[in-house]
Amino acid sequence: MQQFTDKLILFSCAIIFFGGSFSSFAQTRAELDSLRSEASTITYNNPELAIEKGLSLYKLAKKDPSTQIGALIIVANGYAVLKNHDKVLEYAFQADSIAKNSKIYTDRIRVLGFIGGEYQRLNLSSKALNYLDQAYEISVSHPLPDSLKFLQGNILFVKGLIQKDNLGCEYALQYFKQAEEVFKNNISSNAINASVAIASNKIGDCNFEMKDYKKAKENYEEAIVYAKKINATKNIAYSELGLANILSTEGKNGEAIQILERAIRSIENVNDIGINSEIYKSLSENYAAIGNAENANKYTSLYLAEQDKLLSEEKKSLNKVVNDLSSENVKKRERQKDKYNYLFLFFGIVLLLVILIVVKKIIAKRRKIFLHKEELKKSSKNKK
């Protein structure tokens, strides 16, 4: 009876201990997931805060490689919104090094797809395709679970951007539409609403470029619906820019200005050089169209200032990428040189061993001949 009581006490203690540990783990997991979701959702509205929360998430998730990778991608994405491409690549490659070691294929696909997207933003299509193809190959050999199918949408979307740059909207449109469909069918988190909005906006841009203004308007309005679900003000402002451009083509410059002024006010705290630049340019053109030279000049100056910032950031990032590529090529040449040195050393040692063996055989053979001659001499003396 005493033994039974002791076992019961031990069992009860075990339940309390492991139950408490599980409860603590579950609470920590919930906190990490909440922080990750919050940081992802605010990336486009407040990239600086998203970066801050992403770094906090990274520190908290010390023993969780997958969460750390997600945190680093959030940080990199925040810097992408801010057009700080140096930092984007720094954190993306840090995430990739963790993904390689952890061997969690879904994380590797996510990171490779993100890096491909960043190289596309820098107009380095061949580098972008290299990473996207790697991501695609892994997704084929290790199929994605339903909750992560949206990653295929990311790959399709970036390929669409590359096609648009290289061949135009006629070739890109199918990729954007496929990406949008994947996103819509796999909204596993609030952040995917932003992906739908971005894809819809790009489809709208292509339809606008192809002068199908009716469809373009539908695309921009649909993008606003999805962006509003997560209060993605940057995405909404981009859609409003598209709608304003349609109004401009119809000669409704006053209406276009109203939308643009509202859009620029909504993102005054976002600090996105790209979208600011485009809205300033459109405002300048619309004010010029109605003969308001003062405001036209004002927004032209603001547009040029933003362009200078944009070019400066991209030039700095491209220089870093070029330097990295040069450094990579130097390392490759050094590795190749070392490889040849090792080969020469190996073959040198082999050749030396062959020579030693041959010399040894020659010496042995000569010794044998010498001994044979000595035996013949002794034999001839004995006969005498």
Question: Taking residues 111-115, what's their average pLDDT?
Answer: 91
Find the helix or strand (DSSP H, E) in which 370 lies: helix 293-383
Distance CA 269, CA 108 (A): 33
Give residue 370's pLDDT: 61
Task: Tell me the pTM.
Answer: 0.64
Share of the chain above pLDDT 70, in %: 76
Question: Taking residues 40-55, what's their average pLDDT?
Answer: 84
Q: What angle do CA 198, 169, 143 make, to 5 degrees?
A: 60
Q: Which residue has the tokens 């020579």?
A: 355
Give residue 191's pLDDT: 79
Q: Residue 48 in contact with residue 78, Cβ under 8 Å?
A: yes
Q: Which residue has the tokens 């339809």?
A: 207
Q: Is the pLDDT of residue 166 over 90?
A: no
Residue 218's nearest CA partner among 232, 233, 239 is: 239
Share of the chain above pLDDT 90, in %: 38
Distance CA 196, CA 226 (A): 7
Give residue 45's pLDDT: 76
Digit-coded pLDDT (tens) for 136-161: 888 888 888 877 788 888 888 988 99
Give residue 293's pLDDT: 94
Question: Taking residues 202-228, what's their average pLDDT?
Answer: 96
Q: Which residues contact 137 (CB under 8 A, 6 or more apart)?
A: none
| From 39-48, 179-188, 199-208, 324-333, the region with the lowest mean pLDDT | 324-333
Taken in order 135, 41, 50, 120, is the CA torsion positive or negative? positive
Give residue 31's pLDDT: 67
Q: How buried is residue 359: exposed, middle or buried, by Cβ count under 10 Å (0-12/13-18/19+)?
A: exposed
Distance CA 69, CA 84 (A): 19
Q: Residue 279 in contact with residue 242, Cβ under 8 Å?
A: no
Q: Which residues contact 327 (CB under 8 A, 6 or more apart)?
A: none
Q: How buried is residue 215: exposed, middle or buried, by Cβ count under 10 Å (0-12/13-18/19+)?
A: middle
- Number of neighbours of residue 152 by Cβ within 10 angstroms: 21
